[in-house]
Amino acid sequence: MGEPRAAPGTAGRRADAPAGHEGPGDPGAPGGRRAGRDARIEALSGAVEDLAGRFALQPLLRRILRRAVSLLGAGAGSISTVDESAGTYAKVASLGIGCQEGRVFPLDEEAGTCGAVVAARGPRLFDSYREVPGGHVDPGDRERLHATLAVPIEWHDRIIGVCVVFGTDPAKRFGPEDVELLRVFASHAAIAIANARLHQDAEERARGLAVSAERERVVRDVHDTVARALGSILLSLEADDSAAPAACLDAARAVARAALADTRRTVLGLGPSLLGPRSLDEAIATELAWAHSTAGIRTDLVVTGEHPPLGAEAGAHALRLVQEALTNVVAHARAELVRVGVMYGADDVAVVVEDDGRGFDPADSGVRSGGRGLTGIVERARQDGADLRIESTPGWGTRIRARIPYAAGDRRDEGAITPWRVLVVDRRAVVRAGLARLLTQGQPEIEVVGEVGEAGRVMAAVRLLEPDVVLLDLRMPGLDGARLTSYIRSASPGTAVLITTDDLGDELLKEAVHAGARGCVGSELDGPGLVRAVLAATRGDAMLTERMLRGFTDRDRPAADPLTEREREVRALVERGLPDKRIAALLAISVKTVEKHVGAVLRKTGAPNRTVLAHRAAGR
């Protein structure tokens, strides 16, 4: 590898250490050379044994570093990985000093020993750490570091890392013999880094192949289901039965409904397994490795409790929640450390994801409505039947806790976990396509079941597809959104209608709300905002802006208040947008009693729905 290059002030230094050199045995003492040789052999053989079959990079590099620091008589050390193509290096392991493990820094003039080694393409010796240009050692450690030796970690003629040892004794000096010895440890570190990367690449390829194979199987199943259904429909429509054309259409309609159900079951129930052959612990460890490699975040995984037989669905639910939480940490938290805890109990598995990032105020309305990347976590936990708790303080990080029943996998078969079905109705094809894309990309549990561009086909689509929410263009030609809302609500009372319009002063919008629309959305909404609006509509919440409410006229108000005292209490809570369960808890009455009072309020006030009650309250 060539002779080591001396730092300024080291030229002419003898290869042997001066007085005060601390080595593994005094060469001048009887048996000293033999003891020193034995210590070196033991340390080097131990480092080689560490490499056998181990792929967890950080613990392995720490063991290699500990042996190097001990054998060279140093007081501290660090190992970093280098990515010259990206111009960065990452602190991976440290011993005896604070080297900001997990952080990624640029390879520039402030890159410290790593930058010096990469620039010299070889080892560097410094009499004192004060001579090192830049560096990212904690300020409290800088003054106690003296002689410094850094060597490159090389693989196939490329520098993939740097190994550094620091003397904490002012009299300590490193020589050429120490350089060669540290190079041996650097070669061990190179094998460890290369093995870890090969293992990770192999695992990712295996996962990709497994997912691709499962997707191909699902596609074939969907193809077979649809092909059979289309064949049956054609047979029904072409049947030679002129006396009973209605019967043929009914038969074709029944086949189409069955085909839709079969296809939905195939896509939702037979999708690729998230866990595959891995355990939940192994899968979470892989996700933590992704967070570390992506954002340089330090990670920690703690597992407690007996490992019971974990159903594929319950394990997949737990892994999805961890994936959502880690994605949120990487995208929003600006954290340096994330910890994941997995606790196996008698009836459920508890998962905790905790970071030291910037946190947020839970009282913030944007957070309550699903902002800051929490929409997917909250909705996924609700549909998976998990007990979810989110705790956060600005500047002090976030903690997400979830308990997932082992029987969670049975809920899908019982129909408790199904996607929210959305029908998109708009006269413009490009708008329909855009809304559908935003919804399907923004929330996995939202399914766009159809797109309609003609008013005359809306009711047939509602009856056939049975959507939970209809996104309805207010100005549909031929039959406007207000009348369509009335028809939809009459034919399917359980279907929520959201009007799409940019003109909040449009008189038709008021008529649509009177007809039962839950509110409206405009083109200013992004994907997450549109998802929140749809999810709010499924919960029965009114999506009416203050400007819309102020635009309603006084003609909707009743002349007198014929309500009882209890009915007025219920009306006030309904006007605040509270659901029946919450009202029942606040008034200490049953949910059925609340429903009876709400019905009486609507009947006595002449309001067609809860939404109209809300806008009347805003006008008072």
pLDDT digits (tens, 9 = 90+) for 103-162: 888 888 777 888 899 999 999 999 888 888 887 787 778 888 889 999 999 988 889 999
Distance separating alpha carbons of residues 612 and 553, to the nearest angstrom: 12
* Of the candidate ranges 48-57, 230-239, 564-573, the one whose mean pLDDT is the lowest: 48-57
Chain segment 280-300, per-residue pLDDT in tens: 888 888 888 878 876 778 999
Average pLDDT over residues 487-513: 85
**Stretch 520-539: mean pLDDT:** 77
pLDDT higher at 120 or 524: 120
User: 53: pLDDT confidence band, cut at 50, 70 and 90?
Assistant: very low
User: Poorest-confidence range of 83-92, 220-229, 440-449, 558-567?
Assistant: 220-229
Position 10 scores a pLDDT of 37
pLDDT score, position 17? 35
Segment 40-50 mean pLDDT: 53
Phi, psi of 339 (to 5 degrees): -115, 140
Average pLDDT over residues 157-177: 91
CA distance 247 to 66: 82
The residue with greater pLDDT, 7 or 513, is 513
Top mean pLDDT of 378-387, 522-531, 553-562 is at: 522-531
Per-residue pLDDT, 5? 39
* pLDDT(16) > 60: no
Collapsing DSSP states into helix, strand and coil, what is residue 543? strand
Averaged pLDDT, 381-401:
80
Instruction: Give which of 99, 166, 96 is closest to 130, Cα–Cα.
Output: 166
Which pLDDT value is given to residue 122? Answer: 93
Write out the DSSP string of 74-139: -SEEEEEEEETTTTEEEEEEEESS---TT-EEESSTTBHHHHHHHHHTS-EEESSGGGSSB----H
Between CA 75 and CA 172 the distance in angstroms is 10
Nearest Cα residue to 269 out of 440, 379, 414: 414
Task: Give me the pLDDT at residue 368, please.
Answer: 41
Q: How do residues 579-612 score in pLDDT, each as one tens digit?
A: 888 888 888 888 888 888 887 887 777 776 777 6
Q: Which of 110-114, 215-219, 377-381 has the highest mean pLDDT?
A: 110-114
- CA dist 459 and 462 (Å) reads 5
Residue 38 has pLDDT above 70, yes or no: no
More confident residue, 164 or 575: 164
User: By C-alpha distance, which of 454, 350, 487 is closest to 405?
Assistant: 350
Mean pLDDT of 325-350: 86
Between 105 and 219, name the one with better pLDDT: 105
Instruction: Tell me what the pLDDT averaged over the chain comes to.
Output: 75
How does pLDDT run across 467-485, given as a tens digit for each residue?
A: 889 999 999 998 888 899 9
Query: What residue ranges define each of the domains in the chain, with the CATH number in brackets?
Result: 5-199 (3.30.450.40), 280-413 (3.30.565.10), 420-551 (3.40.50.2300), 555-619 (1.10.10.10)
Average of per-residue pLDDT across 440-444: 61
Cα–Cα distance, 540 to 529 (Å, whole number): 17
% pLDDT > 90, the chain: 11
Contacts of 285 (CB under 8 A, 6+ apart): 301
Q: Which of 123, 154, 157 is nearest to 7 (CA)?
A: 123
| Lookup: tokens for 349 | 């598995």
Check residues 361 and 232 and name the one with the higher pLDDT: 361
